[in-house]
Amino acid sequence: MNKAVFLDRDGVLNEEMGDYVWTPERFRICPGVPESLARLKAAGYYLVVVTNQAGIAKGLYTRADVLACHEILQQACGYQLDALYMSESYPSVSESIFRKPDSGMLEKAMARYHLDPAQCWLVGDRARDMQAGAQLGVRGILVGHSELIAYSPRVADLQAATELILING
């Protein structure tokens, strides 16, 4: 069985802008992300992005717009991300088991990469991220302070989350 770090996108890998981030001009990678991903990759983790992209279901932007941002992310990070999964649904428009807090995106990656949930981590900035991981026994790390919930461990950014993961295996 293999291990992975599941990564939420907005607020973890790229800057959260307060609304939808889907244009290359507004897509800014957070400081330290390429280095953090390189350290996790060197430690033997698969790196899997799991992101809700409700703006697609709402008609605000297209899948191609999101994929263009993902290409920028991959280029900046030396193509170290093994998979980028997105849920295009939104509850009032369409239902999906892939939209966090459901665990469909994680389950898909677990099957694809033969992952052991006990050896995996999920790094996200929302309660729904932590819920998706908890459903499968994946340890979570909450990043930032935008979510008003009590959760531990909670760290400032992906760099701090990387330290926790590498120390705790």
Q: Is the pLDDT of residue 88 over 70?
A: yes
**Is 102 one of the annotated active-site residues of the chain?**
no
Going by pLDDT thresholds of 50, 70 and 90, the confidence category of residue 95 is: confident
SS (H, E, C) the chain: CECEEEECCECCCECCCCCCCCCCCCCCECCCHHHHHHHHHHCCCEEEEEEECHHHHCCCCCHHHHHHHHHHHHHHCCCCCCEEEEECCECCCECCCCCCCCCHHHHHHHHHHCECHHHCEEEECCHHHHHHHHCCCCEEEEECCCCCCCCCCEECCHHHHHHHHHHHC
Catalytic pick from 10, 65, 125, 129?
Answer: 10
Homologous superfamily (CATH) for 4-168: HAD superfamily/HAD-like (3.40.50.1000)
Going by pLDDT thresholds of 50, 70 and 90, the confidence category of residue 93 is: low
- pTM for the predicted model, two decimal places: 0.96
Average pLDDT (73-95) is 91
Hey, where are the domains in the chain?
Answer: 4-168
What are the tens digits of pLDDT across the range 50-63?
999 999 999 999 99
**Is 8 one of the annotated active-site residues of the chain?**
yes
What are the tens digits of pLDDT across the range 127-144?
999 999 999 999 999 999
What is the pLDDT at residue 85? 98
